[in-house]
């Protein structure tokens, strides 16, 4: 069996920035063990598998595909950067002729369209609820130490925790944080958390005017820190839209690689836009 595979840097227009995802094009579905083995071999935060819905479809003419995502350790229910990368492979490398492609996923239908030099993903919005900080004190301590935390929130849909640092903290405080993934795992063993987001308010008056910054840690799925996380922004976008009174926002995930996302809230949905760069193309032989 030969499987075409691409490595695509998502939420960036520069190679080796943003979040790299592997994208595999499949004629038919594989076993979960094989999906997991390929994802472990690729050893990126996520590997996406695009499958044709029928033998008569092609990656060039089809408008609907099945899509799933695996980290090196487990399958996940929603992944933004690997969805963006998947759309880029279909549009750029397979020459898909449709204005919109729709992926059937565990999180429902996800539509992606071309827009300028990038793509727009139509995702579910996942607003978090504020929590009592004392109930999260161990994870707060493990994540940010003694830094002041303004809000502790949790999204039960995604199982993402969100810690907003006080407005006295700026981006430099966020980027200088040294978060130990082992300490996170040790402080949260209940199984209720899939990922931890740490965020600070931005400075829209400056250039390029980011509304907020964030970092995302996913050691519970085998990813110590995810470089740029589309799924986290379904939570972040919902949270900051309410806090800032805005439906359109520009966000920056301030990992070492870094990445930029444009967000637009629409009812219970959120449009997440970004660019991509393909850095590798090859074949997996099994």
Neighbour count for residue 282 (Cβ, 10 Å): 10
pLDDT at 198 over 80: yes
The predicted structure's pLDDT at residue 55: 85
d(CA 268, CA 246): 15
Query: Which among 276, 216, 222 has a CA at the least distance from the CA of 17?
Result: 276
pLDDT in tens, 241-284: 999 999 999 999 999 999 999 999 998 999 999 999 999 999 99
Report residue 114 as tokens. Answer: 């071309």
User: In sequence order, what DSSP letters do the residues of 138-160 get, joined into one string?
Assistant: HHHHHHHTTS-EEEEEEETTTTE
Q: Where are the beta strands (DSSP E) in the chain?
A: 2-10, 19-26, 46-52, 64-70, 75-76, 100-105, 108-115, 118-124, 129-130, 149-155, 160-165, 195-201, 212-218, 223-226, 248-253, 259-266, 269-274, 276-285
The predicted structure's pLDDT at residue 205: 72
pLDDT at 167 over 90: yes
The predicted structure's pLDDT at residue 251: 97
Query: Which among 285, 279, 275 has a CA at the least distance from the CA of 120?
Result: 275
Name the DSSP letter for residue 134: G
Report residue 2 as tokens. Answer: 């030969």
Q: 129-266 architecture in CATH?
A: Roll (3.10)
pLDDT in tens, 143-166: 999 999 999 999 999 999 999 999
> Which residue intervals of the chain bear CATH 3.10.310.10?
2-124+273-285, 129-266
Mean pLDDT value across residues 223-227: 96
Alpha-carbon Rg for the chain in angstroms: 18
List 260's β-bridge partners, or say none.
Answer: 252
CA pseudo-torsion sign 229, 230, 236, 240: positive
Mean pLDDT value across residues 221-235: 97
The predicted structure's pLDDT at residue 208: 83
Neighbour count for residue 165 (Cβ, 10 Å): 21
Contact 240, 125 (CB under 8 A): no
What percent of the chain is predicted at pLDDT more than 90? Answer: 96
What is the assigned CATH class of domain 2-124+273-285?
alpha beta
Mean pLDDT value across residues 104-129: 97
């Amino acid at each position: 069996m030969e499987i075409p595979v691409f490595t695509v840097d998502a939420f960036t227009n520069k190679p080796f920035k943003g979040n790299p995802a592997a994208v595999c094009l499949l004629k038919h579905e594989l076993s979960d063990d094989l999906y997991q083995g390929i994802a472990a071999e690729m050893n990126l935060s996520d590997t996406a598998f695009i499958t044709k819905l029928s033998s008569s479809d092609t990656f060039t003419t089809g408008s609907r595909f099945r899509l799933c995502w695996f980290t090196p350790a487990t399958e996940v229910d929603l992944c933004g950067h690997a969805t963006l990368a998947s759309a880029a492979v279909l549009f750029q490398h397979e020459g898909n002729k449709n204005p919109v492609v729709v992926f059937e996923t565990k999180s429902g239908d996800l539509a992606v369209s071309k827009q300028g030099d990038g793509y727009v993903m139509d995702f579910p919005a996942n607003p978090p609820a504020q929590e009592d900080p004392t109930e999260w004190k161990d994870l707060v301590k493990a994540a940010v130490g003694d830094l002041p935390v303004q809000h502790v929130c949790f999204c039960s849909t995604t199982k993402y925790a969100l810690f907003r640092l006080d407005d006295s903290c700026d981006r430099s405080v966020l980027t200088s944080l040294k978060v130990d993934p082992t300490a996170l795992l040790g402080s949260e063993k209940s199984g209720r958390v899939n990922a931890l987001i740490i965020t600070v308010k931005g400075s829209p008056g400056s250039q390029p005017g980011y509304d907020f910054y964030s970092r995302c840690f996913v050691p519970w799925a085998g990813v110590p820190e995810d470089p740029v996380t589309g799924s986290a922004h379904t939570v972040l976008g919902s949270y900051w839209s309410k806090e800032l009174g805005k439906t359109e926002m520009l966000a920056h995930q301030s990992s070492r690689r870094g990445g930029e996302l444009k967000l637009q809230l629409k009812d219970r949905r959120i449009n997440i836009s970004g660019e991509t760069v393909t850095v590798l193309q090859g074949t997996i032989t099994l």
